[in-house]
Amino acid sequence: MAILLDLQHVVLEGSDRTLLADLSLTISDGDRIGVVGINGAGKSTLLRIVAGELTPDAGQVHRGKHSSIGFLHQIPSLPAGTVRDALGPGWEVDAALDRLSMLEHVDTSIDSLSGGQLKRVALARIFSQSHDLLILDEPTNHLDLAAIEWLEQQIIAFRGAVVLVSHDRFLLDQVTNRMIEIDRGRSYLHSGGYAKLLETQAEREAQAISAEAVRQNLARRELAWLRRGVKARSTKPQARIDAANRLLGTKKEAAAREGSLDLATDMPRLGDTVIKAHEIHFAYEPGRDIIRDVTLDLGPGDRVGIVGPNGAGKSTLVSLLAQHRVPDQGTLKHGPTVKLAYFDQQGSSFDATKTVQELVAGPHGVPGCPADLTLMKRFWFTGALPLAKAKDLSGGERRRLQLLLALAERPNVLILDEPTNDLDLETIRLIEEFLAEWPGTVIVISHDRAFLSQTTDRLLEVKADGTLAEVPGGIDAWIARAAGVATSLSEDTDEESSQSKSKLLRETEKEMARLERQIAKLNEKLLTITDYEEAGRVNKELLTLRQSLSDAEERWLVLGDA
């Protein structure tokens, strides 16, 4: 097995903190290394060091002789000319372009491509070239599910090594055999894929909690000893007093982000009618319908995922549902109690020249007031970030700001168009947890299969001809069909049964998680209650919740054994 790259004790300092501290990593043929960490942790920085674009402040980087490296940046750069000029001829190139829905643009100028089209052409180019090591920075952004399936196959079939940053958990779980986690400058290397990473993270967090409990117990004992009095202390060695003071002065390591992303929000009640569309059509040019003959009835609490090939009209459809566009034909109505927030792909709903605190305050508020500062802190806008202009924020920060502004409106209907783009896994998981408990109606366009699985219970496909169809079997069945997997009638029946069981398992797991959170909150509340009657009411509520949790756990076990 040939070694392609060897990093030894690499250090890189940022402007205000250490990005990488004492990182050692060996990359060999056959490695499939996923890199994860919160936004700003240093993931893309590590990729640039591996690619040779950035020199570390300390440490050594050894590269294999004659090793060729291909680097796909988050925002790719391609040579001037047409798509064909950038990729060259060949059936392999055309096959890749076809799977990435770009074959019809082969004679299009690179300068006129959208960001998503540029990413797809760059992917086709990097896999059509000969490299020993591929570096992929968020390769699934702007890809539809069929294109992601193609990308998985390319990575698996590639003979060299791959290092990738991605928030797509399905992709990481499918293709990686090693994972690097970057956390506050430190790096943790895990053997195995994404599932093994989660196990190791949980173990590390449990050990940290245990170590903190031990430290606090030692501190309490030392504090009690020190408070016995001057006479008692005078008989003790000074070294122990100094050690006790050091122990008491030691603080638990600060979290990578202060607090958790608090998305809790109240909302006005929804009536029975939410959104009703009847035979709507829409075209940007006469005679070329993008959306055709769509009828849809959404009720309170619906969780709908929308999928389809790139360019089919998914974003156009949700802009119609949000009443940001008017259909050319048909009728579209909102219920009288609907208050809708629209989380679009571009973040075009706010003025990028304003600061974060100006946007949060709105046209009639006072920027930087205490209530707004508290709200911004809940979304990790602290330090200098409230004074930063929106245009100067990172992609992940802009998406968090967009979510903050959407939820600040107290909506009861959320439309989310590719909400996971530019967000790290921690933020994505917290949004999933929020949506699992939020009682409103949710419509999601996403290429993130894990996100769709966690947040939706109904899947609709916008087809290439602009029509809308229900997807039996949910997200997994859609992926299989997009990949060209044919099934017999009996297999379809078995698959639908399996999908129904999987859906029930997911719903039960969500219910168990919700009940566990409610029980934890009530237990915390019970510790602060001094009124006897109120304590009795809380205990009664706890007993009911614990019984519900027990029933849910039993249901989960039965489903798992079925």
Q: Which tens digit of pLDDT belongs to each residue from 152-176? A: 999 999 999 999 999 888 889 889 9
Beta carbons within 10 angstroms of residue 274's beta carbon: 24
What sign does the CA torsion over 359, 364, 366, 370 have? Answer: negative
**Helix or strand (DSSP H, E) at 284:** strand 275-285
Torsions phi, psi of 171, nearest 5? Answer: -60, -50
Q: How many CA atoms lie within 13 A of 226 on its CB side?
A: 17
Q: Which tens digit of pLDDT belongs to each residue from 471-515? A: 887 777 776 665 555 443 344 445 555 556 666 766 677 677 777
**pLDDT computed for residue 123 by the predictor:** 93
**pLDDT computed for residue 295 by the predictor:** 95
Per residue in 528-556, is it b (16+ CB within 10 Å) or e — as a string? eeeeeeeeeebeeebeebeebbeebeebb
Question: How confident is the prediction along the chain (562 residues), in pLDDT tens digits per residue?
Answer: 688 999 999 998 887 778 888 889 999 999 999 998 887 778 888 999 999 999 999 999 999 888 899 999 988 888 889 999 999 888 888 888 888 888 889 999 998 887 778 888 999 999 988 999 999 999 998 888 888 888 999 999 999 999 999 988 888 988 999 999 888 888 888 888 887 887 777 777 777 677 666 666 766 665 565 555 544 444 445 555 565 556 555 555 555 555 555 555 567 788 888 999 999 999 998 888 899 999 999 988 889 999 988 888 999 999 999 999 999 999 999 999 999 988 887 655 678 889 999 988 888 888 888 888 887 887 788 888 889 888 888 777 888 888 888 877 788 999 999 888 878 788 888 788 778 778 889 999 998 888 888 888 889 999 989 999 988 877 777 766 655 554 433 444 455 555 566 667 666 776 777 777 778 777 777 777 877 788 888 888 888 888 888 888 777 777 766 5
**pLDDT computed for residue 134 by the predictor:** 95
Whether pTM exceeds 0.85: no
Pairing of strands 32-36, 18-28: unpaired
**pLDDT computed for residue 488 by the predictor:** 39
**pLDDT computed for residue 331 by the predictor:** 95
Strand partners, 35: 165, 180
Inter-CA distances, 483 with 147, 151, 152, 154, 496, Å: 9, 12, 11, 13, 18
